[in-house]
Amino acid sequence: MADKGGFPHHMLKEIFEQPQGLRDTIAPRVSLEEGLVRLDDVRITVDELCSLQRINIVASGTSRHAGMVGQHMIQDLANVPVDVDYASEFEYRNPLICRDELTIVITQSGETADTTASQREAKAKGSRTIAISNVMDSTIAREADGVLYTHAGPEISIASTKAFTAQMAVLFLFAVYLSQVRGKLTREQVRHYIEGLLELPAKTDIVLESAADCKALADTYHAVEDFLFLGRAIHYPVAMDGALKLKEVSYVHAEGYPTGETKHGPNALIDEHLPIVIIATCDRNDEGSVLRYEKNVVNIKGFKRQSAPVIAIASQGNEEMSKLADHTIFVPQASELLSPILEIVPLQLFAYYMAVRKGLDVDRPRNLVKSVTLE
């Protein structure tokens, strides 16, 4: 078993290794001075990238949530349609692969059976493929046309944490690179996005300072057996992964839902016994983000009228959210497309401390394995 580096569990060690994982994943691939993103291992020609008509992202579990974040990044920046699918379903739905398509497969280990099978299915139908993996020379990397490695370092705990943030960073790099080669961004715009990327490690360090607050939340809610995690647009997959982490390590039932969908059923469950965790950050420079934030405020007021305890993840300096929610964890200001990388960190910490409070085996949850190599 790898050394825990003074931490009580690998999961906590890996959560705290995220700033370094982000540095190692981002820095070698960008030039702030030139305003360029370089992805030499993509191995898809510029002509092919310029002619792309659609991208399929295929993955499972946390990697799929990264793919959902990547869908927003690519569509917003490169204006290319993106579909995200479960790897376990992709090959069984007879995917219709057309000319000028690209399939991106994401797996931490590079050996996930469903994802490997999906890649082979896509290639058999004529799609070019790019693999995103954290393990060098893994099966999925060897079989792909191109590969983008995350440099998060070995991930021992079954619940994926640092690989997830690195995957989102790589997907953002790819989105900017694709936009760059397709002429969708100016050099100054690329430089702006690179600056945002390079600021992420230090901002993640700041989020990690909220560990004591996340532990206090776990102490408060450790006996609760149901949670609802909510987020809009690019923040919805963060809510899903926060719920998944809680399920994986603390065996607590949690659902990740789009915030606007609560009126279509889940509202019936909301009362004083159902804590709601809502992603309510806001990029004031983004009109869409401001609009979604304002809708979140209305939603939170409604949840409070239903007596639900509300835990909010909000942008630093947002005093309004402190007054609205029962508990608020703040993350540094970031652009709408990069804020998910910061938002997930307190949710990881909350799941970890919930499991510790319950006295569970944090690194080896029951019935789960690190790499799912059999269907």
Could you report the per-residue pLDDT of 316-348, keeping only the tens digit for each?
A: 999 999 999 999 999 999 999 999 999 999 999
* pLDDT score for 370: 72
Give per-residue pLDDT as tens, 238-250: 999 999 999 999 9
pTM above 0.75, yes or no: yes
Closest by Cα among 19, 364, 349, 346 to 157: 364
The CATH label, of 3.40.50.2000, 3.40.50.1980, 3.30.420.40, 3.40.50.10490, for the domain at 10-205 is 3.40.50.10490
| Secondary structure (3-state) at 72 | helix
Residue reference for tokens 């609802």: 228
* pLDDT score for 43: 86
Mean pLDDT, all residues of the chain = 95
Burial code (b: 16+ CB inside 10 Å, e: under 16) for 217-253 equals bbeebeeeeebbbbbbbbbbbbbbbbbbbbbbbbebe
* pLDDT score for 371: 63
Cα–Cα distances in angstroms (integers) from residue 323 to residues 170, 207, 320, in the given order = 36, 20, 5
| Confidence band for 374, pLDDT divided at 50, 70 and 90 | low
Class of the domain covering 209-357 = alpha beta
- Give the type of residue at 84: V
- Mean pLDDT, residues 154-160 taken together: 94
* pLDDT score for 95: 78
* pLDDT score for 93: 82
- Mean pLDDT, residues 88-117 taken together: 88
Give per-residue pLDDT as tens, 274-313: 999 999 999 999 999 999 999 999 999 999 999 999 999 9
Least confident of 108-112, 131-135, 144-148: 108-112
| Confidence band for 142, pLDDT divided at 50, 70 and 90 | very high
| Confidence band for 373, pLDDT divided at 50, 70 and 90 | low
What strands, in cross-sheet order, belong to the sheet with 253-258?
A: 253-258, 226-231, 276-279, 310-315, 327-331
Q: Which ranges in the chain are annotated with CATH 3.40.50.10490?
A: 10-205, 209-357
Size of the chain in residues: 375
369 pLDDT more than 90: no
